[in-house]
Amino acid sequence: AQSVAQPEDQVNVAEGNPLTVKCTYSVSGNPYLFWYVQYPNRGLQFLLKYITGDNLVKGSYGFEAEFNKSQTSFHLKKPSALVSDSALYFCAVSPPGDSWGKFQFGAGTQVVVTP
Amino acid sequence: EAEVAQSPRYKITEKSQAVAFWCDPISGHATLYWYRQILGQGPELLVQFQDESVVDDSQLPKDRFSAERLKGVDSTLKIQPAELGDSAMYLCASSEGARPTDTQYFGPGTRLTVL
């Protein structure tokens, strides 16, 4: 069975500093990985996904993520964080094969960016 | 930009009452999902439709929850009777298809409070 872990409940960073949100996964075969962001009382907004190819994926709002197969990780990064990036971030894995696109979400990481 | 619509945004009800949530997916999206998100956790799939057919309802508490997508477009999720433990955010998502690489786009959610 597939699973995804976000080892940090909260990440604190000062505005202008680099932001990293960690995600590790466990799945049989080559995974498809997604990042979403959620603002208070809102739905999830899609940021980026890894399907195949280049290990560095660029997404919305200046975010990027690096797929590392040997470490089974897909960490989300932003070179310079903004206060407006404060939100809840979710990593999700979609296993390959005939799984009807069933996503498994991590528990989420709260990002707090201070001015 | 097309969005997933949900209503109501907030619902307060007493236990043992019936509640219903509505979702209108992005036009042309064949696959529709209902998720439940408990505060502080990632979304968990309740039911998945491909057009008007249910393809996965393994996590749907069928004694009290029901879902339909009669014409393969919009969908309704019902709870009868509601219980205190049903308090959560109910999210609807849609995707073009059910391939594991398809991005799921989420609506704003319905926040349910059961008193």
φ, ψ of residue A104 in degrees (nearest 5) = -115, 120
B8: preceding bond cis by omega (within 30 degrees): yes
Q: What is the mean pLDDT of residues A4-20?
A: 97
What is the tens place of the pLDDT at every residue in B33-69?
999 999 889 999 999 999 999 999 999 999 999 999 9
Domain ranges of chain B: 5-94
Interface membership of A41 toward B (CB under 8 Å): yes
Domain count, chain A: 1
How far, in Å, CA of A38 to CA of B41, rounded?
Answer: 12
Q: How confident is the model at residue A90 (pLDDT cuts 50, 70, 90)?
A: very high
Q: Among the CATH numbers 3.40.50.1980, 2.60.40.1930, 1.10.1740.10, 2.60.40.10, which is that of B5-94?
A: 2.60.40.10
Is residue B110 less than 8 Å (CB to CB) from chain A?
no
- The per-residue pLDDT for A99 is 60
Query: What is the pLDDT averaged over residues A47-65?
Result: 95
CB nearest to B106's CB, from A43, A94, A100: A43
Helix or strand or coil: residue B109?
coil
Give dist(CA A96, CA A99) in Å, integer.
7
